[in-house]
Amino acid sequence: MPWWAIGYLIVVLLLTIGAVYDDLGKENASLFVIGNLASYLFVFGFVWSFFVPEVASFLGMLVFPMLVVGIAFEFYSTHVDIEEAEDLSRNQKLAVMLVVNLIVVPGYVFGILVGIRNANV
């Protein structure tokens, strides 16, 4: 795995740790903590399987349900976080949502590429 992919996974891991810490004070904390951890594991698995074909073949077609669940959780979680941020304007909320989701998008792009590669094998 190249250095930049490892760096990306470290950044996503740090963001996940921050998100889990932030989610501990929420009403449905367990849902968000489990969701953030699962989302990180999905992104980690997608990036890792892109560079390690044995992992990709292990995941097989399970990649597609993982993509759907992971992306849906990312948008739901971001939406809830934005709604709770009452001190931000509408434009600031949209900017935060865009930046946060753009950080995780590369991981899901790797997942799409792995799924396509697995479907063609």
SS (H, E, C) 15-73: HHHHHHHHHCCCCCHHHHHHHHHHHHHHHHHHHHHHHCHHHHHHHHHHHHHHHHHHHHH
| Average per-residue pLDDT for the chain | 86
What pTM value is reported for the model? Answer: 0.81
Examine the pLDDT at 121 and tell me if it is beyond 70. no
Check whether 108 has a pLDDT greater than 80: yes
* Mean pLDDT of the region 110-119: 91
SS3 89: coil
Q: Which of 51, 40, 3, 42 is nearest to 18 (CA)?
A: 40
